[in-house]
Amino acid sequence: MSDYIPYGRQDINQADIDAVVEVLQSDWITQGPAIARFEQAVANYCGAKYAVAVSSATAALHIACLATGLGQGDTLWTSPNTFVASANCGLYCDAQVDFVDINPHTYNLSVDELEHKLVAAEKQGCLPKVLISVHFAGQSCEMEQIASLSKHYGFKVIEDASHAIGGSYQGTPVGNCKFSDITVLSFHPVKIITTGEGGMLLTNQEELYQKLIRLRSHGITRNSELMQGESHGSWYYQQLELGFNYRITDIQAALGVSQMQRLDEFISRRRFLAQRYNQLLQDLPLIIPWQHPDTESSWHLYVIRLKLDKITKTHRQVFEELRQAGIGVNLHYIPVHTQPYYQQLGFKCGDFPEVEKYYQEAISLPLYYGLTQENQDRVVASLTERLI
Ligand X SMILES: *Cc1c(COP(=O)(O)O)cnc(C)c1O
Residue 82 engages ligand X in binding (rule: CB under 6 A) = yes
Alpha carbons 259 and 255: distance in angstroms, whole number: 6
Residue 160 engages ligand X in binding (rule: CB under 6 A) = yes
**Binding residue for ligand X (CB under 6 A) from 35, 85, 165, 362?**
85
Of 52-60, 143-151, 265-273, 343-351, which part binds ligand X (CB under 6 A)?
A: 52-60
Nearest to 140 by CA among 292, 336, 338, 358: 292
Alpha carbons 205 and 200: distance in angstroms, whole number: 15
CB of 298 closer than 8 Å to CB of 192:
yes
CB of 175 to ligand X, least distance (A): 14
Binding to ligand X (CB under 6 A) within 174-213 occurs at: 186, 188, 199
Nearest to 251 by CA among 321, 315, 195: 195
- Return the CA Rg of the chain: 22
Q: What mask of x and - would describe binding to ligand X in positions 231 to 270, judged by CB under 6 A?
A: ----------------------------------------
Q: What is the largest CA-CA distance in the chain?
A: 76
Residue 134 engages ligand X in binding (rule: CB under 6 A) = yes
Residue 106 engages ligand X in binding (rule: CB under 6 A) = no
Residue 86 engages ligand X in binding (rule: CB under 6 A) = yes
Residues in a beta bridge with 327:
5
Residue 298 engages ligand X in binding (rule: CB under 6 A) = no
Residues in a beta bridge with 306:
286
**Binding residue for ligand X (CB under 6 A) from 62, 117, 129, 163?**
163
Nearest to 244 by CA among 108, 85, 45, 60: 60
Residues in a beta bridge with 201:
52, 184
170: left (phi over 0), alpha (psi -120 to 50) or beta: left
Residue 56 engages ligand X in binding (rule: CB under 6 A) = yes
**Binding residue for ligand X (CB under 6 A) from 57, 65, 131, 251?**
57
CB of 327 to ligand X, least distance (A): 21
Of 17-25, 31-39, 158-166, 203-211, which part binds ligand X (CB under 6 A)?
A: 158-166
Residue 157 engages ligand X in binding (rule: CB under 6 A) = no
Residue 99 engages ligand X in binding (rule: CB under 6 A) = no
Residue 83 engages ligand X in binding (rule: CB under 6 A) = yes
CB of 81 closer than 8 Å to CB of 102:
yes
Q: What is the DSSP letter of 327?
A: B
CB of 27 to ligand X, least distance (A): 28
Q: Of 254 and 318, which CB lies nearer to ligand X in the complex structure?
A: 254
Alpha carbons 59 and 40: distance in angstroms, whole number: 20
Residue 80 engages ligand X in binding (rule: CB under 6 A) = no
Residue 236 CB partners (closer than 8 Å, separation 6+): 222, 224, 227
Q: Are strands 50-54 and 199-203 parallel, antiparallel or unpaired?
A: antiparallel
Residue 166 engages ligand X in binding (rule: CB under 6 A) = no
Nearest to 162 by CA among 124, 125, 197: 197
Q: Of 108 and 204, which CB lies nearer to ligand X in the complex structure?
A: 108
Size of the residue set binding ligand X (CB under 6 A): 14
CB of 136 to ligand X, least distance (A): 7
Which residues contact ligand X by CB under 6 A?
Answer: 56-58, 82-83, 85-86, 134, 160, 162-163, 186, 188, 199
